[in-house]
A = this chain, B = another copy of it.
Amino acid sequence: MPGKRATRLTPDQRREQLIGIGLEMLADRSLDELSTDEVARRAGISRGLLFHYFDSKRDFYRAVVRAACDRFSAATEPDGGLEPVAWMRAFIAGFVAYVLEHRQVYLALVRGAAGSHPAVTDIVGETRETLARRLRDGQRRLGVPDVPRQELALRAWMAFAEEAVTTWPVDDSGDGAAGARDELCAFIEASFVGLLGLLDRPGRLTSR
A residues in contact (CB < 8 Å) with B? 83-85, 88-89, 111-113, 116, 142-144, 149, 152-153, 155-164, 167-168, 186-187, 189-195, 197-198, 202-208
Contacts and interface: CB of A to CB of B under 8 A. Distances in A.
Given A143-B207, A156-B164, A168-B152, A191 B187 contact: no
A188 B89 CA distance: 26
B207 A85 contact: yes
Q: Specify which of A157, A197, A204, A205 lies most central, judged by the most chain B CB atoms within 10 Å of its CB.
A: A205
Nearest to A151: B167
B164 A207 contact: no
A197 B205 contact: no
Contact of A159 (B163, B190, B193): B163
B208 A142 contact: yes
Contacts of A113: 112-113, 116
Nearest to A165: B156
A104 to B, nearest CB: 13
Given A153-B164, A159-B162, A163-B155, A142 B207 contact: yes
A88 B116 CA distance: 33
Nearest first, the 9 closest Cβ-Cβ pairs linking A and B are A193-B203, A190-B202, A143-B208, A159-B163, A160-B160, A194-B198, A156-B164, A159-B159, A156-B163
A191 B164 CA distance: 16
A190 B207 contact: no
Nearest to A157: B160
B167 A155 contact: yes
Given A83-B207, A142-B206, 20 more contacts: A85-B205, A85-B206, A85-B207, A89-B205, A112-B116, A142-B207, A149-B187, A152-B168, A153-B164, A156-B191, A158-B163, A159-B159, A159-B162, A159-B163, A160-B160, A160-B163, A186-B204, A190-B198, A192-B205, A194-B198
